[in-house]
Chains A and B, each alone.
Chain A
Amino acid sequence: MNPRGDSTSGSDGAAEPKRKSKKPRYSRFTQQELPACKPLLTPAIVVTTFAFIGIIFIPIGLLSLSASGQANCIPEQLQNDKVAFIQSSTTNKTCSRTLTVPKNMEGPVHIYYELDNFYQNHRRYVKSRSDKQLRSKASETETTNCAPEATTSDGSVIVPCGLIAWSLFNDTYSFAVNSKIIEVNKKNIAWLSDKEHKFGSDVYPKNFQMGGLIGGAKLNASIPLSEQEDLIVWMRTAALPRFRKLYGRIETDLAANEQITVTIQNNYNTYSFEGKKNLVLSTTSWIGGKNDFLGTAYLTVGSLCLFLAMGFIILYLLKPRTLGDPSYLSWNRNPDGHY
């Protein structure tokens, strides 16, 4: 540590036996001598950063906007409002609507149903499922979180159990142009990983929707869960109360001004919780469906940054920082000094 001088001028400086030193080995890490870069927000860096962000962001914004513009979207509101009507099993719930295609829509046209005020993200709702049961027949009895839709009243397990499956959406749509039925492809609407890994091919619906209170759709007990794609899509719970889910695809193109007749089986009860149902037809671009937010946001931030860059250039030119000017020192602005 310190160069401790020999205490005396004596001859004892000779050959003090070398003691085992516990002095830590020198390392640049412990001595805080690692090579370092010391970034500093200099005017050049600041202006460059802002300008760079602006220059990158504005094209991204434009690109996103145009991509979003290419995605067409026809939302159709469905508004029948009678809870009693929808709960009755005898009433005819078929209704039809006519839509006009505003622009050419190249196939595939994605068909979505949109629900509003439906909290699929509710804490208890989200948990009310059994992933093990969905995966394999062997785990059929694992229904831990599924109550009250775990077992039927006589105690036999429900497959698939839980509230999510129970509340499966069950409106159906069919489309016709000029009385000619347009085929709706309901295959491959679910994530591949879900079909292959989360829903077993040996798991068949059992005792489903047999209870007193009917939630939503019934399932064909002869089709394994891995092929029940509507269920699989539904079981991917949405994060927000307003969400869309893929219903199917129209593989053909739709020409502008075509009149599409949609026949709707209005089965799903959204009236009891004042929800809304929409039917959405949409094409996609590389960025997905139509949403101008990202595009405009990129444009906004990009221009803001360019503006800031210019602002700072002007600021730096008008008011260069004088080194050592005591008026910049914070304690000079704070009259009572040092403490």
Chain B
Amino acid sequence: QEKLDMSTYPVESIRNFSIIAHVDHGKSTLADRLLEITGTISKTDHNKQVLDKLQVERERGITVKAQSASLFYNHEGINYLLNLIDTPGHVDFSYEVSRSLSACQGVILVVDANEGIQAQTVANFYLAFEAQLSIIPVINKIDLKNADPERVEQQIEKLFDIPTDECIRVSAKQGTNVEKVLQKVIEKIPPPQCNTADPLKALVFDSTFDHYRGVIANVALFGGEVEKGHQIVSAHTKKRYEVNEVGILTPNEQPTHKLYAGQVGYVIAGMKEVTEAQIGDTLFLYKQPVEPLPGFKSAKPMVFAGMYPADQTEYNNLKSALERLTLNDSSVTVHRDSSLALGAGWRLGFLGLLHMEVFNQRLEQEYNMSVILTAPTVPYKAILSSAKLIKEHGKDQITIINPAQFPDKLSVSEYLEPTVLGTIVTPHEYIGKIITLCQDRRAVQKDMLYIDENRVMLKYLFPLNEIVVDFYDALKSLSSGYASFDYEDAGYQSADLIKMDILLNGNPVEELATIIHKDKAYAAGKLLCERLKETIPRQLFEIAIQAAIGKKIIARETLKAYRKNVVAKCYGGDITRRMKLLKRQAEGKRLMRKIGNVEVPRDAFIRVLKRETNK
């Protein structure tokens, strides 16, 4: 492949920008059009979400991994290099969004002409505003029947203080006015402020793993230049590498001779794992260290779930599937784990529930694996008071991620739970319901202020485990989707935690044990018992389903015994059918879990533990 010469693009001709929007407002479609207009991709009918390469992205219509593309555009005689950085929109990935934005000098803010400003519009606007980026408002979907661009322009003026005449009305689907957007990008967004004479300073805003070439790090150069043969160092790992290849993305890899300050592209330097090129890291030349770019965070898992193969014979297949999937996702943490009931497996850490769902979906689609996921948990801590345990663990503070490891109250001086500081932006009519929801989740209000005459921003300190399951959905549903939610880690707080066991006829069921706050135990226990009652088949004796804390029973359901279970007629043709059914049931017995004398089908637990999706 011919290498491009990037030296023909001086810093003044470069524009680095991102497109931000609320979900489904047309971000990716607009990106498709921009790629077409600039000739980066040929104009065909098949260009849909071109930058969303993952199947799960295309199916769910979401962007999970940030991709970038370098576009070339001639405007009034000058050749410009426009670097478009696509961003994930979900709150789980706000860190990725903020890193992508730090590589930009401006953003295109897309708003649906009918829906108007929505939660993520606001959240993303603030991210861009705080990063002091130029903002180009674009009102999209003007081709649709209910479009009301004038109303939206006024919303934008009121909320963001941007004059209505700066808004561009487009239809990304039809291509209407999209060229104007490009021109505005050139006119309004400033070129990057950096110098090729400075030492190399490159921000890693994404990385992918390629089997043949190793880790491909997506970088934005804040200073200096980089080319094949250079020795570079990662500020985070301190490891040194030799650069094999540099290039830009169009959106596929296009090697170049060099990359210069202000440009965006990729670097391949013999890194073997994506953990060696983490998002937010800074790369510099060997012997020329620079101040690392601010805002780097090591991926912090917020939600843990146990993952087990549906059958132990599948263990090795699942193991290699996990290894390959995590090659490309350095934000998933993996620990080996095992359960009496489910055998050998893992406990995985995710950035959030969407992250976990997407991961699971990718596992199914790309690796054809179906797995057993146990209840999501968060990393609790305990400060030990028992000398014996302290000696055993080698320290006095331990992190508990598997309920089986929960140390008894007597050996502990304090339990701690992780908390987050959550920010909710909502129209004022939903304040009451939202406050009630937050109080219900043991949250403490930290701040409340009106950001304009209609909208309120609330800040609450939440225990993390109260929001990981369905807080976001509940918030959306009681605010008709208008409230937005964002959160950040806020350390640990003391908590009255207990371990709740589930018993069947007095025998504990290990995989259903949960660590929970004392105040929530009854409700959770009752729900679990009710769900189990529906999923365990009746047997020849009565089954007592109980939730217990230590020896104390806090909830109970009873599954009555069968008093009649025999088919009425069995003649002729029925006999063959009957035998088939009976033999299937006999087979099924082998797969049953026996808890004491109670037979439980394997999927009973999964059904009980599985998060209720989209009620």
Co-assembled chains A and B: no
Q: A-contacting residues of B (Cβ < 8 Å)?
A: none
User: Which A residues contact B (CB, under 8 angstroms)?
Assistant: none
